[in-house]
């Protein structure tokens, strides 16, 4: 067997089953690989011959042998951000831009692609999830393409674009009047009663492995080098942990030079259980009741919080959180400086990065990658109120010239 589930704490093997918790000690299960036999399959040359998508890393993903990928998920651009760097006091700043991840414009497409490959292998005809929005979009889209029936559970008051962006795929959308954490608890109960593949409940160990591809791509796109720092938004805390796992695997398999990488977690102050624990020096999460515009990160009791804290602390990193005002300012800053419209989660990343440079937690000379994980068109309401809609003018040159005269300058850029 190329991979199997093992308990993170007692290390008992569970084979490959749709299950996320060890029945012996109730700790989370994780996919582990036979790295000795993988060395030959996972080389720079083999990867370079693969498709421009997450499937180039298939050898290190938990994919059944029968899996035939048909969607070009991932392999999003990584590029230098010199103008943003100047604005926040950085020098070697990169953006990893999953605002353009296919098919639904967030990094959640990566995790769903891997989860649904396993849903198929386990014989589920219905897939499902609890979601703060982006996971709903990704599950509904890829579920439709894969011919699955699809049930999606969300807090009732999500952003309109994330609701329509789920319904349009024909998914059965169940709105719950409650927080994400309540929605998620309900889904665990439903998963016990129905034979459905919940991508982030009973398929969670497989789902989470999809996030590693974000890390593999960073390393490959930097020319098979690791950065000094990664700044990553956190909801359940899975992505940041899996980027670290990806880097460790690349080192273990000899694809990159060993190097310490610091991990910096980013949250909204209105929901910051992980950054609070890091700042207080606690190793466990104290659940919070979320209240922030960063809805995609609004998980008050993050499933992987404990491991996210560990990844941050053991790497020598740190975690920050920022106000809704700072999130909006930073969405604008990223758009005006680099031409990227990110959603609120991306605003959290940029705002926290700014703070981390200011606090000298990150030094300008270091190579730092910002994880931009979602698209601004899905949360445009967050910034719509920032702009006035002027009165239209008549389609005549004289009117335009009059308008031009009345306009002495463009509105000032934010956050100067
Ligand atoms: C879900 C999500 C995250 C955080 O992912 P976790 O793995 O749950 O920490 C970050 N950004 C966006 C846009 C998301 O949708
Ligand atoms: Zn166990």
pLDDT of the chain, 416 residues: tens digit per residue: 789 999 999 999 999 999 999 999 999 999 999 998 887 889 999 999 999 999 999 999 999 998 999 999 999 999 999 999 999 999 999 999 999 999 999 999 999 999 999 999 999 999 999 999 999 999 999 999 999 999 999 999 999 999 999 999 999 999 999 999 999 999 999 999 999 999 999 999 999 999 999 999 999 999 999 999 999 999 999 999 999 999 999 999 999 999 999 999 999 999 999 999 999 999 999 999 999 999 999 999 999 999 999 999 999 999 999 999 999 999 999 999 999 999 999 999 999 999 999 999 999 999 999 999 999 999 999 999 999 988 999 999 999 999 999 886 655 555 54
Q: Do the domain assignments include residue 48?
A: no
Q: Ligand 1 atom 5: the closest Cα is on which residue?
A: 235
Q: Does 60 map to a domain? A: no
Residue 66 lies in a domain: no
Contact (Cβ atoms closer than 8 angstroms) between residue 212 and residue 250: no
CA of 28 to the centre of ligand 2 (A): 7
Do 263 and 404 belong together in one domain?
no
Same domain? For 121 and 190 the reply is yes
Asked if residue 329 is part of any domain, the answer here is yes
Residue 65 is assigned to a structural domain of this protein: no
> Is 373 close to ligand 1, i.e. is its CB under 6 Å away?
yes
In angstroms, the CA 284 to CA 291 distance is 21
Within 8 A by CB and 6+ apart from 221, the residues are 77, 78, 96
**Does 72 reside within a domain?**
no
Residues 236 and 311 in one domain: yes
Counting the structural domains of the chain, the total is 4
The answer to whether residues 248 and 366 belong to one domain is yes
Q: How many helices (H) and strands (E) would you count in the chain?
A: 16, 13
How many other β-carbons are positioned within 10 Å of the β-carbon of residue 336?
Answer: 15
Ligand 1 atom, smallest distance to 238 CA:
7
State the CATH number of the domain containing residue 239. 3.40.50.1100
Shared-domain flag, residues 7 and 135: no
Our answer on whether the CB atom of 296 is closer than 6 Å to any ligand 1 atom is yes
Residue 137, ligand 1, Cβ within 6 A: no
Distance 412 CA to ligand 1 centre (A): 31
CA of 36 to the centre of ligand 1 (A): 32
Q: Ligand 1 within 6 A of 219 CB? A: no
Q: Give the domain extent around 118.
A: 108-210
Q: Is 370 exposed, middle or buried (0-12, 13-18, 19+ CB in 10 A)?
A: buried
**Residue 257 falls in which region: left (phi positive, over 0), alpha (psi -120 to 50) or beta:** beta
Cβ of residue 265 lying under 6 Å from some atom of ligand 1: no
Q: Is residue 314 part of a domain?
A: yes
Ligand 1 centroid – CA 135 distance (Å) = 9
229 in the same domain as 133: no
End-to-end CA distance of the chain: 56
Report every protein residue that has its C-beta within 5 angstroms of ion ligand 2: 7, 10, 22, 24-25, 27
Greatest pairwise CA separation for the chain in angstroms: 79
Residues 87 and 120 placed together within one structural domain of the fold = no
Question: Which atom of ligand 1 lies nearest, measured to the CA of 237?
Answer: 9
Together in a domain, 95 and 161: no
Residue 45 in any domain: the answer is no
Domain C-terminal end among 178, 210, 242: 210
Q: Are residues 179 and 299 part of one domain? A: no
Ligand 1 test: best mutation among 275, 297, 340, most atoms within 8 Å of CB? Answer: 297
Whether residue 375 sits in one domain with residue 346: yes
Q: Which residues pair with 6 in a beta bridge?
A: 13, 30
Quick one: 167 and 228 in the same domain?
A: no
pTM: 0.96
128 and 16 belong to one structural domain: no
Q: How many A from CA of 17 to the centre of ligand 1?
A: 25
């Amino acid at each position: 067997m190329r991979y199997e589930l093992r308990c993170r704490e007692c290390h008992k093997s569970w084979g490959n089953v749709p299950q996320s918790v060890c029945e012996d000690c109730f700790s989370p299960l994780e996919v582990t690989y036979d790295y000795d036999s993988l060395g030959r399959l996972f080389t720079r040359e083999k990867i370079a011959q693969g498709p421009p998508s997450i499937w180039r890393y298939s050898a290190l993903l938990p994919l059944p042998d029968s899996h035939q990928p048909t969607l070009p998920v991932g392999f999003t651009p990584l590029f230098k951000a010199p103008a943003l760097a100047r604005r926040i006091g950085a020098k070697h700043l990169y953006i990893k831009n999953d605002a353009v991840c296919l098919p639904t414009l967030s990094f959640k497409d990566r995790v769903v692609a891997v989860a649904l490959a396993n849903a198929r292998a386990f014989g589920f005809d219905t897939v499902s999830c609890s979601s703060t929005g982006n996971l709903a979009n990704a599950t509904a889209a890829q579920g439709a393409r894969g011919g699955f029936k699809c049930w999606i559970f969300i807090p009732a008051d999500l952003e309109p674009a994330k609701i329509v962006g789920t319904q349009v795929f024909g998914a059965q959308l169940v709105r719950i009047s409650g927080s994400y954490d309540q929605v998620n608890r309900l889904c665990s109960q439903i998963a016990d009663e129905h034979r459905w593949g919940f991508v982030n409940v009973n398929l969670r160990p497989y789902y989470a492995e999809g996030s590693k591809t974000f890390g593999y791509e960073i390393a490959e796109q930097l020319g098979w080098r690791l950065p000094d720092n990664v700044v990553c938004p956190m909801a359940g805390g899975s992505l940041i942990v899996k980027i670290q796992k990806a880097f460790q695997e690349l080192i273990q398999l000899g694809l990159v030079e060993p190097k310490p990488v610091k991990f910096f977690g980013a949250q909204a102050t209105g929901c910051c259980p992980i950054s609070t624990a890091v700042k207080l020096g606690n190793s466990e999460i104290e659940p919070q009741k979320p209240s922030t515009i960063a809805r995609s990160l609004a998980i008050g009791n993050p499933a992987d919080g404990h491991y996210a804290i560990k990844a941050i602390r053991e790497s020598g990193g740190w975690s920050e959180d920022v106000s809704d005002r700072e999130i909006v300012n930073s969405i604008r800053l990223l758009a005006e400086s680099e031409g990227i419209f990110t959603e609120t989660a991306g605003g959290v990343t940029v705002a926290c990065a700014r703070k981390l440079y200011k606090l000298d937690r990150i030094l300008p000379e270091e190579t730092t990658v910002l994880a931009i994980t979602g698209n601004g068109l899905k949360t445009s309401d967050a910034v719509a109120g920032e702009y006035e809609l002027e009165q239209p003018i008549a389609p005549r040159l004289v009117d335009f010239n009059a308008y031009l005269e009345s306009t002495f300058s463009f509105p000032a850029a934010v956050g100067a």
